[in-house]
Structure 1
Amino acid sequence: MRPIRRTALSAAAVVLAVTLTACSSGDDADASKTDDSGSQETEQASDDSGDGGAKGEAGSAEAAGLDMNDLPDPIASQDIPATVEGDDDAKLKVDLFALKRQGETVVAQFGFTVNSSSTEEDWLYGYLGDESWDPFLVDSRNLRKHQVLKHNVNRAQTTSQGPKFKPGQTYYAFAVFAAPPPDVQEVEVSVVDGMNLVTEAKIS
């Protein structure tokens, strides 16, 4: 499996440096407190996501460090209800592709695909019922929750209010977390509300 492209994560670099300096213990609980208002959320890598929107699926895949022509088998995949106007049966397929340890961080890679009769495009935020995307890891061995690295309102993840995408298209995304200790090789992953907790997810 090819390594994450450094250019794909360049938008998160400043956030990681600042956040890791503030969290030298490796516990990102204080630095990743979320704002009460999702409308005020400013997620990191929005510029990268915007470029991805202009290039379609391939652009979002590149920004997430994935090759659409050589996607890894998902660690976990599940269909959950999607919010689509006029289609109460719409589903959102959520894929967790990989967890990659990079120094003091873990980079997670995801895919979101809407199955609906609608042809209207929307943000991931909209498909989630106007809820922000807030994944996290759980290190059950050390009883620690690892949220997306954050400094102020800047989050080291693909934005849920970046480019819009249509049903049938896949929106690829990444999120960056403080890494658990090196001896922790498996974690639980909460990918999105409504999806079962992914257990025994291996960190590569």
Structure 2
Amino acid sequence: MNATARSTSRIVRGLAAASLITALAAGCQFGIGEDEQPTGGSDPAVEQGEDPAGDGSETDQQDPQASDGGSEGGGDGTAGSDEEDAVVDDDAAAAGVDLSGVGEPVATAEIPATVEGNDEATMTVELFGLERRDDTVVATFAFTVNSDTGSQDARQLYHFLGNSGWHPYAIDTVNLNKHGVLGGAKVGQTDYQSMRFKPGQTFYAYASFAAPPEDVTAMDVMMVDGAPMVTGVEIR
């Protein structure tokens, strides 16, 4: 992409079409047992449509060769020129998600970030709300690494999270159901191991969940491990 063509880098990955995500929504809800409460500090249960070992599965162990700003693995996701201040997952359009005009965040959290040479680096995580789309609910997010010292190389979200995966989920507190990402981390959400962004740039992403019953008008959302649970997020 010509760096002067526009100020927002739009990175294309091959995700499933919206019809696949909608189809996956059927029959994908798991109840929360008596010992599993919908709180941010609990150990996440099996997420619908996802490997039961989602948080510790092989997905989280992939891409060890993708070093700071390196060219191996995820090379097509490099964040563009220094002047660009945002990295947007263009493939979200395949799921009918527009990340170019997300509006104001409904929740913000700050968590530690892994940046070589700066043990004080943090990451600002923003949630822009939930939108019901037929049998799915789509959440939109933004990630910004705050680090003026240490490495300024573009890295994947996976690396900034300390070589850990990104596993958001939503909870229907009316029916006590936990809604994991539809189809798992490589299908129903922005791939945390494909695109790269630099400290100071904002990385926009999305995740799709099975929709709760129509009478459920709000859900709790876990944006990222280490952040508090966002409660009562209205479903638009």
Give runs of aligned pairs for residues 15-26 of structure 1, distance below 5 A.
15-20=20-25, 24-26=26-28
- Structure 2 spans left out of the alignment, 5+ residues: 1-11, 31-46, 64-75, 93-97
Give runs of aligned pairs for residues 173-192 of structure 1, distance below 5 A.
173-192=205-224
Structure with more of its chain in helix, by fraction: 1
Structure 1 170/124 Cα, relative in aligned 2: closer, same or farther at 3 Å?
same
Pick from 158, 166, 177 the counterpart of residue 198 of structure 2. 166
Pick from 12, 15, 29 the counterpart of residue 27 of structure 1. 29
Pick from 163, 187, 198 the counterpart of residue 155 of structure 1. 187
Q: How many Å separate the matches in 2 of 1:52 and 1:72?
A: 25
User: Which has the higher Rg, Structure 1 or Structure 2?
Assistant: 2
Aligned equivalent of 2:155: 122
Q: Match for 2:88: what amino acid?
A: S
The CA deviation at 1:27 is: 1.6
Q: How many Å separate the matches in 2 of 1:176 and 1:40?
A: 22
Identity in percent:
39
Structure 1 71/150 Cα, relative in aligned 2: closer, same or farther at 3 Å?
closer
Q: How many Å separate the matches in 1 of 2:48 and 2:91?
A: 27
Q: How many Å separate the matches in 2 of 1:132 and 1:200?
A: 25
Aligned equivalent of 2:61: 39
Pick from 49, 53, 73 the counterpart of residue 104 of structure 2. 73
1:146 and 2:148 aligned: no
Q: How many Å separate the matches in 2 of 1:16 and 1:76?
A: 25
Q: Match for 1:122: what amino acid?
A: R
Q: How many Å separate the matches in 2 of 1:79 and 1:150?
A: 28
The CA deviation at 1:92 is: 0.2
Structure 1 58/114 Cα, relative in aligned 2: closer, same or farther at 3 Å?
closer
Q: Match for 1:140: what amino acid?
A: T
Which secondary structure state, in structure 2, belongs to the residue aligned with residue 201 of structure 1?
strand
Aligned equivalent of 2:233: 201
Q: TM-score, with normalisation over the residues of structure 2?
A: 0.69
Aligned equivalent of 1:11: 15
- Structure 1 spans left out of the alignment, 5+ residues: 1-7, 42-49
Q: How many Å separate the matches in 1 of 2:21 and 2:154?
A: 32
Structure 1 199/40 Cα, relative in aligned 2: closer, same or farther at 3 Å?
same
Q: How many Å separate the matches in 2 of 1:187 and 1:71?
A: 19
Q: Match for 1:39: what amino acid?
A: Q
Q: TM-score, with normalisation over the residues of structure 1?
A: 0.79
Structure 1 167/54 Cα, relative in aligned 2: closer, same or farther at 3 Å?
closer
Q: Which runs of 4+ in 1 moved over 3 A?
A: 50-59, 61-64
Aligned equivalent of 2:123: 92
| Residues 13-61 of structure 1, C-alpha deviations (whole Å, 9 max, x = no match) | 26415523xxx335265522237222359xxxxxxxx579569665616
Q: Match for 1:193: what amino acid?
A: D
Contact 2:127 2:142 (8 Å CA) reproduced:
yes
Contact 1:15 1:150 (8 Å CA) reproduced:
no
